Amino acid sequence: MRLSDPIKISISNIRAAKFRSFLTTLGIIIGVVSVVVVMAIGAGAQGLILDQVSAVGSNLVGVLPGASEEKGPPSTVFGTIITTLKYKDLQAIRNKSNAPEVTHASGYVTGSATAKYQDASYMVTYQGVSPDLINVENIKLAAGRFFLSEEETNLARVVVLGADRVNDFFPNVDPIGKEINIKNFNFTVIGTLEKKGASGFSNTDQAVFVPLFTAQKLLLGIDHLNFIRAKVGDPQDVQRGVADIKATLREQHGIKDPADDDFTVRDTAQAISTLSDITNVLKYFLASIAAISLLVGGVGVMNIMLIAVNQRIREIGLRKAVGARNFDIIWQFLIESVVITLMGGILGVVLGILISYLAALIIRALGNNWQFIITWQSVALATSVTFLVGIIFGLYPARKASRVSPMEALRYE
């Protein structure tokens, strides 16, 4: 018997039972679609995040409370509250004798509350920031002004609103000079921002900015900072700026050994690298979870193949009676299993690409700069896994078929 004969027989059997073959591949199709879509959505989300971080420029340095590994995120990223970063640290970083490369720096604290104006009421996320924020993040005003230097610390009750917040509270009214209420404190609107969209670390269109001390003392009741951002004049001086900021904070905190640092200092390039590592881990973790459905599909393949063995016992006996070897029987059923799973894999890849493309169109329509990304890794992963599933879950039925006795098979009713 030629080696190609079992292949022809397997394909002929698949064609003879099209509906059963389709039901067998359905689990595989769903599993492959899940893997491809998860990988595509993950790659798109990763690209969006990294593009937004890159858009803020290569000369920003971020300071967060809490130590971290060289390439790992600080614990504050995961919601841990650390209070080691203070306003005096921000002042020290601004001091030219400590960090001459730093041209601007802003402290940040964040909170949530209900903001009201007449009958309009919205839950907002507000930020206490420094007057330097407008230079650190290249924010442009649409009307009015930003905070003055003295308003950073004198508990001034003034607020600057993003474009979307202006539309929320003042759709047909000039907001400058009007007052909104946050936590029972009235804040005078002194400025509004140009519409920009989500960019970098935040969406300034949703911004509600108040002076730093006002947010700390009046709204939050804290004396620490959530983080600091500093801008270095020349991108080529970023590493020197990072080193100077670290040295300044160690002096401020009385730290002699860098291993005892209670802060993390990262420039934009490091932030991009760290975010890339984190998003890669999440992307492949989610893909591995989605791939579990392939195993479920593989169990379905094995069950259908076992049924097929029982239904074709007479065929197996006849083939053995005319000279087919055990290897030929195993080869036939393995080929049938692999062909079924590969068919499901190919259909799953095609459907996964179509679904991912539609998802990209919808996300773009919502105003996000989303990239449609199908990587060769996702296609290769899905195809190779379906091939292995076909072999692994087809092996037992194939071996069972090869052990059928020709005499018993010919007598089988």
Q: Check whether 185 has a pLDDT greater than 90.
A: yes
* Segments forming the whole domain that contains residue 310: 5-52+274-411
- pTM across the whole model: 0.58
What are phi and psi for residue 202, nearest 5 degrees? -160, 175
Statement to judge: residues 42 and 128 lie in one domain: no
Max avg pLDDT among 87-96, 227-236, 382-391: 87-96
**DSSP-derived pairing of the beta strands 158-161 and 185-193:** parallel
Statement to judge: residues 45 and 128 lie in one domain: no
Please report the pLDDT score of residue 73 as a whole number: 56
Local confidence band at 60 (pLDDT 50, 70, 90 cut-offs): confident
Q: Give CA–CA dist 201/191, Å, rounded.
A: 21
Statement to judge: residues 233 and 316 lie in one domain: no
Q: What is the mean pLDDT of residues 398-406?
A: 68
Statement to judge: residues 302 and 257 lie in one domain: no
99 versus 3: the higher-pLDDT residue is 99
Q: Check whether 348 has a pLDDT greater than 80.
A: yes
Statement to judge: residues 236 and 379 lie in one domain: no
Max avg pLDDT among 18-22, 176-180, 392-396: 176-180
117 versus 28: the higher-pLDDT residue is 117
**Assign residue 57 a region: left if phi > 0, alpha if psi is -120 to 50, beta otherwise?**
left
Query: pLDDT for 228-285, tens place per residue?
Result: 999 888 878 888 888 999 999 999 999 888 888 888 888 776 666 666 666 777 777 7
Max avg pLDDT among 56-65, 230-239, 312-321: 230-239
Domain membership of residue 14 (yes or no) is yes
Statement to judge: residues 247 and 306 lie in one domain: no
Count of helices and strands (H, E) across the chain: 12, 12
Tell me what the pLDDT averaged over the chain comes to: 80
Statement to judge: residues 238 and 333 lie in one domain: no
Please report the pLDDT score of residue 9 as a whole number: 62
Identify the burial level of 101 via C-beta atoms within 10 angstroms of its C-beta, where 0-12 means exposed, 13-18 middle and 19 or more buried.
Answer: buried
Domain membership of residue 59 (yes or no) is no
Neighbours of 294 (CB within 10 A): 25
Statement to judge: residues 303 and 250 lie in one domain: no
Q: What is the mean pLDDT of residues 51-65?
A: 71
Share of the chain above pLDDT 70, in %: 75
Three-class secondary structure of residue 145 per DSSP: coil
Please report the pLDDT score of residue 295 as a whole number: 73
Neighbours of 60 (CB within 10 A): 25
The 3-state secondary structure of 77-108, one letter per residue = HHCCCCCCCEHHHHHHHHCCCCCCCEEEEEEE
Q: Check whether 325 has a pLDDT greater than 70.
A: yes
Please report the pLDDT score of residue 327 as a whole number: 73
Q: Check whether 377 has a pLDDT greater than 80.
A: no
Please report the pLDDT score of residue 16 as a whole number: 67
Domain membership of residue 78 (yes or no) is no
Do residues 112 and 206 touch, judged by C-beta distance below 8 A?
A: no
Share of the chain above pLDDT 90, in %: 31
Q: Give CA–CA dist 294/92, Å, rounded.
A: 56
Q: Give CA–CA dist 308/210, Å, rounded.
A: 71
- Domain finish residue from 210, 229, 261: 261
What's the domain count of the chain? 2
Q: What is the mean pLDDT of residues 61-89?
A: 74
Statement to judge: residues 191 and 295 lie in one domain: no
Domain membership of residue 60 (yes or no) is no
Domain membership of residue 342 (yes or no) is yes
Domain membership of residue 73 (yes or no) is no
Statement to judge: residues 151 and 257 lie in one domain: yes
Local confidence band at 50 (pLDDT 50, 70, 90 cut-offs): low
- Domain finish residue from 261, 285, 314: 261
Statement to judge: residues 97 and 233 lie in one domain: yes
